[in-house]
Amino acid sequence: MNNTHKQLTSSALAIVISAIIISGCAQESKDSAKQSQPQSTSKIQSASKTDSSAQARPELSEVAGLVMASEPQADLYQGSKELHRSAKVMTSSMAQRIVSSQHVSVSDRNFSLAPTTNDKFESVVQNGNMVAGETPVSTFSIDVDTGSYSTTRRLINQGQLPTKNTVRVEELVNYFSYDYPVPTNSEQPFSVNTELAPSPYNADTQLLRIGLKGFDVAPDKLSASNLVLLLDVSGSMSSADKLPLLKQAMLMLSQQLSAQDKVSIVVYAGASGVVLDGVAGNDFTAIKTALSQLNAQGGTNGSQGIQLAYQLAQKHFIENGSNRVILATDGDFNLGMTDHQQLVDFVASRSKKGIGLSTLGFGLGSGSASYNDHLLEQLSNKANGQYAFIDTLNEARKVLVDQLSATLLTIAHDVKVQIEFNPAVVSEYRLIGYENRLLNRSDFNNDAVDAGEIGAGHTVTALYEIRYNDSHNRLVDPLRYTATESTQIDDAKVHPHTANEVAYLKLRYKAIGEQDSQLITYPINREQQLTHLHQASDDFRFAAAVAGFGQLLNQNNYVHDTDYAKLITLAESAMGQDRFGYRHEFVQMLKTASVLDKQVLMTEPETRWVSQ
């Protein structure tokens, strides 16, 4: 590049950044002006149950100081249009790209030009490389949450990359459905599928994919549901991507329900109140009217709302049905029971009584709100539910319409995975993701230890990168004073049926209504090994691309032979049918992240990422 070209490029970049900063300041002024407007401070009252029409009358607008006089119902897609327009205007946030090398550590540096927020994303210690001869067994709980994917998407659309070690890679992978075989045995709630092919992350390594597929149930075949919608209507929920989007999402959900279902609505801000008390699921008018009356103001006493919601869930409990609280919020709890462990323990105790909790997050980094991704994920983990982040109307439809059966109907409890690698074949292995789902080896057979749930139609995917004993790319030298590999191989000859096994897969789960777990096992043989990555299925290659993206965002030290360009090519080669366009959307996000990553490297060239 000649000097003239460099000067023109630098000038153009400066103009773009200046325009973005000016635009951001103008928007901030508008937001400040809106926030300075006076708000109503009506007292909170609880509405008593009468009949479905009376429960939604405008005179109940005093409930929680939040249910105001009826306002015209917004166009169902207006919020989506506003979000789409705002997404087009990408802020020039120099992403929080953490660059690591053998000599430089700058993981705490923040290159974002956008205002910092108090959003809480828990940092995890990434799984390391394990030696099969020393620690042959890996155990973890399954995870069907997807919140980390959509929060990552939201940040990237705002011009930021997530902070190092805050992306839960398994939630990126499990955001997508995969075409695994459906269960053939009605007594087993899910099928098990494995695939083994060369890894795209490192030379001379292999990638093992474990896939589970739950049996599906059509929405009209679902058992009766008792749903309590616990809605945050505190002051921070006023922006278009929060309460307005939440209302539209709940309307979408209510349109899927029938007369056999029960719906209650509890709202909370500085205090809590009941808006609907067990109306029929098909009473759409009552539900719509109640939602349209909600306005945002006050603090965030979420713990009081949770207690009230569980009281209603118990009041309308349906035997052999789906009893669930759905918590929708933009932030942390700053009033009432603010000790997060108390909250987690509370919802965990109620799940043992048959009432689950699913969490839906809305909005990031808006005003004084502190979005707590970690708390919402942990609450759903301990309460037999799932966590999703709703950033668009399309995401609301995905979670609450397309995947309604998975959201409402749990088909297996406490699903655990344990895999034993054969040291005679495998020298090293690494579990990708699931860091906060790891279990002790002894936990696998202990039915008192809680684990994840699978909903109807859910797919769950886990990936291991492994190295064979004959690999030339091993990270760990053999120990001097332990059994040699030749000894291990000789030992394997004593059990010839295991000599060619890569690993032995075991799964435990509890059938619905059962307290004792069931065990299923699968040997994984080296004959399954594919010679080339392109021979693997579309699902395998796409999942590998998504997991690679998560590892790049976390700046994983064990990814050496991949980059954004390679992952884009890999994902584009594995689009499959992509009926809803989610895979195409992922490729666009991957390309945007690649540009943001380059911006950081241009801004701070001395911190260029050097893989270890």
Pairing state of beta strands 322-329 and 225-232?
parallel
What pLDDT does residue 526 have? 93
Q: Is the pLDDT of residue 288 over 50?
A: yes
207 touches 544 (CB < 8 A): yes
Give pLDDT, residue 545: 98
Mean pLDDT of 7-12: 45
CA–CA dist 201, 465 (Å, integer): 9
At residue 369 the predicted structure's pLDDT band, cuts being 50, 70 and 90, is low
The CATH number of domain 130-217+411-476+484-607, selected from 2.60.40.1230, 1.20.1300.10, 2.30.30.100, 3.10.450.50: 2.60.40.1230
CATH code of 219-408, in short, is 3.40.50.410
Closest residue by Cα to residue 265 from 255, 251, 531, 154: 251
List of E strands, 204-341: 206-214, 225-232, 262-268, 272-280, 322-329
Average pLDDT of the chain is 80
Distance CA 268, CA 232 (A): 5
The whole-number average pLDDT for the span 313-332 is 92
**C-alpha to C-alpha distance for 571 and 612, rounded to whole angstroms:** 24
| pLDDT attached to residue 333 | 67
User: Among residues 552, 560, 612, 600, which one has the least CA distance to residue 100?
Assistant: 612
53-62 tens-digit pLDDT:
334 433 333 3
HSE at residue 360, side-chain half, CA atoms within 13 A, is 30
φ, ψ (nearest 5 deg) of residue 567: -70, -35
Q: Assign 199 a pLDDT band (cuts: 50, 70, 90).
A: very high
Q: What is the per-residue pLDDT for 222?
A: 87
CB 97 within 8 A of CB 593: no
In this prediction, residue 302 has a pLDDT band, given cuts at 50, 70 and 90, of low
pLDDT value of position 274: 93
Residue 354 CA to residue 272 CA, distance in Å, equals 23
Lowest-confidence pick of 212-221, 586-595, 596-605: 596-605
Over the stretch 92-141, which tens digit does the pLDDT of each residue have?
333 333 223 222 233 333 333 343 457 788 888 999 999 999 999 999 99
Residue 197 pLDDT greater than 70, yes or no: yes
**Confidence at 493, pLDDT banded by 50, 70, 90:** low
> pLDDT-based confidence at 611, cuts 50/70/90?
very low
- Between CA 206 and CA 165 the distance in angstroms is 24
According to the model, what pLDDT value does residue 10 have? 46
Cβ-count burial of 87 within 10 angstroms (0-12 exposed, 13-18 middle, 19+ buried)?
Answer: middle
**pLDDT for position 301:** 63
- pTM of the prediction? 0.78
What is the pLDDT at residue 219? Answer: 79
Torsion of CA 242, 247, 252, 258, to 10 degrees: 140
Alpha helices in 482-537 (DSSP H): 485-494
